[in-house]
């Protein structure tokens, strides 16, 4: 089996942004995220209406999937998790508003 972990790490090193993840209990964690604003690839308009981006985070940094209402803060921008359309053994992707 191919180990994609090192390749994912390179992508996050090149394209990632430093973020603070805040869970429902107020606990915070520093993570690196990739923010995508082109939502067409994630579903039809009804599914993504009102969402502003997709925030991806590596499972190696955050083992548990983010939950609705939790946040990622990148600089002055706060992204609130709405749903998790994709998660595998390497990364979680959250639709955010």
CATH number of the structural domain 5-96 = 2.40.10
d(CA 16, CA 71): 17
d(CA 46, CA 38): 15
pLDDT by residue for the chain (97 residues), tens only, comes to: 667 667 889 999 999 999 999 999 999 999 999 998 876 655 544 354 555 789 999 999 999 999 999 999 999 999 999 988 889 999 999 999 8
Give the total residue count for the chain.
97
Beta bridge partners of 25: none
Question: Tell me, what's the pLDDT at 46?
Answer: 39
d(CA 23, CA 86): 19
Kindly list the domain boundaries of the chain, sorted by start residue: 5-96
Predicted model pTM = 0.84
């Amino acid at each position: 089996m191919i180990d994609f972990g090192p390749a994912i790490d390179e992508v996050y090193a090149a394209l990632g942004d430093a973020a603070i993840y805040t869970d429902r209990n107020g606990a915070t964690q520093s993570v690196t995220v990739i923010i995508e604003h082109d939502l067409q690839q994630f579903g039809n308009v009804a599914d993504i209406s009102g969402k502003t981006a997709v925030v991806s985070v590596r499972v190696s940094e955050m083992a548990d999937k983010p939950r609705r209402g939790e946040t990622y803060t990148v600089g002055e921008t706060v992204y609130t998790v709405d749903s998790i359309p994709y998660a595998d053994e390497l990364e979680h992707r959250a639709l955010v508003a």
